[in-house]
Structures are given as C-alpha cells and as structure tokens.
C-alpha cells in the first residue's frame, strides 16, 4: 500500500489516508486472520459456529417482525 504526500499535507492527514486505504483494501483483516495457525478441524468448527450465529440472528429478526405485525399464519 502506497500513499503519496500532497503539497503541504500534514502528517496526520497522510496517516489517516493510509489507514483508510489499508482498511478498504482488506490487508489488516487478512493479517489478523492469518496471525495464528488454525487447523482444518478448528476452521470447520469456527465456520459452523458463525453459521449458527447468523441463523439465530435471522430467526430473531423474523420473530420480531412477526410480533410487530401481529403475524398469524394462514390456515385453510
């Protein structure tokens, strides 16, 4: 990642541009992800745990929608 200084640009602004560029490019996220070795089994467990969290979050959102709308399922 390279940031060129503009004319009369303060160092704080230059560092802020550098930091934004690093975040946008995803370099920091990748660095944190590869900080420690994670074996294949641990990676599967983490992935399953994340999927379960997302599923529960979607379920809570759907439940709150039903409560707000006083949703009742159709019956025939």
Environment class of 4 (CB within 10 Å of its CB; exposed 0-12, middle 13-18, buried 19+): exposed
Chain Cα centroid distance, residue 47: 14
Q: Classify the phi-psi angles of 16: left when phi > 0, otherwise alpha if psi is within -120 to 50, otherwise beta.
A: alpha
User: Tens-digit pLDDT profile for the chain (76 aa)?
Assistant: 888 889 999 999 999 999 999 999 999 889 988 899 999 999 999 999 999 999 999 999 988 877 777 666 677 6
- How far apart are the two ends of the chain, measured CA to CA in Å? 62
């Amino acid at each position: 990642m390279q940031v060129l200084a503009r004319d009369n640009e303060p160092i704080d602004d230059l560092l802020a541009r550098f930091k934004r560029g690093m975040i946008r490019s995803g370099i920091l996220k990748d660095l944190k992800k590869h900080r420690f070795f994670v074996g294949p089994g641990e990676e599967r467990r983490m992935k399953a745990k994340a999927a379960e969290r997302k599923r529960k979050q979607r379920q809570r959102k759907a439940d709150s929608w039903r409560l707000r709308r006083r949703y009742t399922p159709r019956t025939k």
